[in-house]
């Protein structure tokens, strides 16, 4: 109890001392207003950015309307409830200008009287560009308004006096804009922007000090979130646990990989954010996290190398299968009962032209449930990550290894795949 009282008193003193300095010398940076875009392209870009920022997870209460707020966020200093970010003029952001929206997400306030609590991650969002902020604003202004009054926060006194947060901001809330590292390539820099800014990964994966601020010297080093540990996702920590770029990208899309599966808050991050990103952006995030634009040997290549005399004649196809497909379909094509279909003995593989096989591999399949206990999980699309030649190689491997009566079928070529998918 004394520890929490000390924290509260320390924060209160911080606020009282810092508020005047902040309000009169630092203030809230003034930015020009811009008309809200109404074109479909900007709105679509904003929708994508909202997914990248995982806005759904925090701004949608369980059983509530999307983005209508009310999601409870427990902190050591009390409970907060997320706000309504639909364009409702009374309870949402319907009257908010693009300038005010940017000031809130980047600086945590649009005036010196009503700062946000850093549960809204402006401590990361200061890296978000004004252009991306305006696209987000355009998207949120385009969705259906929901009248949902805010739940009152339950912060402990004196932290329920919101202007006191300016003292905290003065010490811990950076306002630097994102800067590319000229020594790194575009994929790495895109990953840095998503991880450090819009994706705000450090908010969960970075330990915090006694006043609730992220410890900058330990960025992404791992932290305890309620009863769970958000692991170390720095390059050395990931490599020590066997991660590479390809496995990370697979994990971001499906929530599963050879190294494990997502659960708790990370499951929501995959479900509401990471799986909705493009493959290029998932690979960019992975590139930044492992701090390398070069691929290390995949699990599939390592597995094939260990097979010795048992390696398939189609070595490249077998390695691709073990890397991309075996997690769900099994290394021997056996599948998982009532979860993932088996490939061994699957007559579709032996279809002469390979049309259905190539289309399924390229386009994926959504989750298919026949009942609460019977159905198959989703299959990701591989069109944007495997070349025509690689798709042909995998197809030839599974046909040869698992399909009945496929011995006389001609091998598929990159040209065949291109023709099927055109």
pLDDT at residue 323 is higher than 90: no
pLDDT at residue 144 is higher than 60: yes
Which element (helix H / strand E) includes 17?
Answer: helix 2-21
Helices and strands of the chain, counted as H and E runs: 19, 9
- Average pLDDT score over residue span 184-197: 94
Topology at the third CATH level for domain 324-421: Cytochrome Bc1 Complex; Chain D, domain 2 (1.10.760)
pLDDT at residue 373 is higher than 60: no
Residue 15 confidence class, pLDDT cut points 50, 70, 90: low
Question: Among 42, 43, 51, 46, which residue's Cα sits nearest to residue 281?
Answer: 51
Residue 377 confidence class, pLDDT cut points 50, 70, 90: low
Instruction: Give the pLDDT confidence score for residue 286 in this predicted structure.
Output: 92
How many C-beta atoms surround the C-beta of residue 2 within 10 A? 6
pLDDT at residue 346 is higher than 90: no
Write out the residue limits of the CATH 1.10.760.10 domain(s) in the chain.
324-421
Greater confidence (142 vs 163) lies with: 142
Contacts of 18 (CB under 8 A, 6+ apart): 166, 167, 168, 169, 170, 171
CB-CB contact of 230 with 205 (8 Å): yes
Q: Residue 216: is it exposed, middle or buried by C-beta count within 10 angstroms (0-12/13-18/19+)?
A: exposed
Tens digits of residue pLDDT in 283-303: 999 999 988 766 655 666 666
How many C-beta atoms surround the C-beta of residue 175 within 10 A? 12
Cα-based distances in Å from 156 to 6, 117, 167, 179, 215: 13, 13, 17, 37, 23
pLDDT at residue 25 is higher than 50: no
Greater confidence (184 vs 312) lies with: 184
Assigned CATH class of 186-290 = mainly alpha
Q: What sign results for the dihedral spanned by CA atoms 47, 52, 57, 59?
A: negative
Instruction: Give the pLDDT confidence score for residue 124 in this predicted structure.
Output: 94
pLDDT at residue 262 is higher than 50: yes
Instruction: Give the pLDDT confidence score for residue 287 in this predicted structure.
Output: 93
**Range with the poorest average pLDDT among 229-233, 355-359, 367-371, 415-419:** 367-371
Instruction: Give the pLDDT confidence score for residue 145 in this predicted structure.
Output: 95
Greater confidence (217 vs 135) lies with: 135
Instruction: Give the pLDDT confidence score for residue 143 in this predicted structure.
Output: 95
% of the chain surpassing 70 pLDDT: 85
Instruction: Give the pLDDT confidence score for residue 299 in this predicted structure.
Output: 62
Rounded Cα distance, 364 and 324, in Å: 12
Tens digits of residue pLDDT in 111-121: 777 788 888 89
């Amino acid at each position: 109890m004394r520890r929490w009282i000390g924290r509260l008193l320390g924060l209160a003193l911080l606020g009282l001392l810092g508020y005047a300095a902040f309000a009169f010398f630092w203030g809230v940076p003034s930015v020009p207003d811009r008309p809200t875009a109404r074109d479909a392209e900007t709105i679509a870009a904003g929708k994508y950015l909202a997914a990248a920022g995982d806005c759904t997870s925090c701004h949608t209460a369980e059983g509530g309307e999307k983005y209508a707020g009310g999601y409870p966020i427990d902190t050591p200093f009390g409970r907060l409830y997320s706000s309504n970010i639909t364009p409702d003029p009374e309870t949402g952001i319907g009257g908010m200008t693009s300038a005010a929206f940017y000031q809130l997400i980047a600086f945590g306030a649009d005036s010196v009287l009503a700062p946000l609590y850093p549960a809204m991650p402006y401590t990361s969002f200061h890296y978000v560009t004004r252009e991306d902020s305006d696209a987000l604003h355009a998207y949120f202004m385009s969705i259906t308004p929901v009248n949902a009054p805010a739940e009152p926060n339950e912060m402990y006194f004196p932290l329920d006096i919101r202007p006191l947060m300016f003292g905290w901001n003065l010490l811990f809330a950076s306002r630097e804009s994102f800067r590319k590292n000229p020594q790194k390539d575009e994929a790495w820099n895109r990953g840095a922007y998503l991880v450090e800014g819009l994706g705000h990964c450090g908010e969960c994966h970075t330990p915090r000090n006694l006043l609730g601020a992220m410890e900058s010297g330990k960025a992404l080093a791992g932290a305890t979130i309620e009863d769970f540990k958000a692991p170390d996702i720095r390059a050395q920590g990931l490599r020590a646990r066997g991660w590479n770029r390809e496995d990370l990208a697979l994990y971001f899309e499906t929530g599963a990989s050879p190294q494990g599966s997502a659960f708790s808050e990370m499951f929501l991050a995959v479900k509401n954010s990471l799986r909705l990103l493009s493959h290029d952006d998932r690979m960019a995030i992975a590139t930044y996290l492992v701090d390398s634009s070069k691929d290390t040997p995949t699990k599939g290549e390592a597995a094939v190398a260990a097979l010795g005399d048992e390696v398939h004649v189609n070595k490249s196809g077998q390695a691709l299968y073990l890397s991309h497909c075996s997690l769900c379909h099994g290394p021997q094509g056996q599948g998982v009962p009532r979860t993932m279909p088996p490939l061994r003995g699957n007559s579709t593989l032996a279809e002469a032209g390979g049309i259905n096989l190539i289309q399924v591999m390229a386009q994926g399949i959504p989750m298919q449930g026949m009942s609460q206990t019977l159905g198959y999980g989703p299959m990701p699309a591989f069109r944007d990550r495997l070349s025509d030649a690689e798709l042909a190689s995998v197809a030839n491997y599974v046909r040869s290894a698992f399909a009945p009566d496929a011995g006389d079928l001609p091998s598929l070529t990159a040209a065949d795949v291109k023709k099927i998918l055109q």
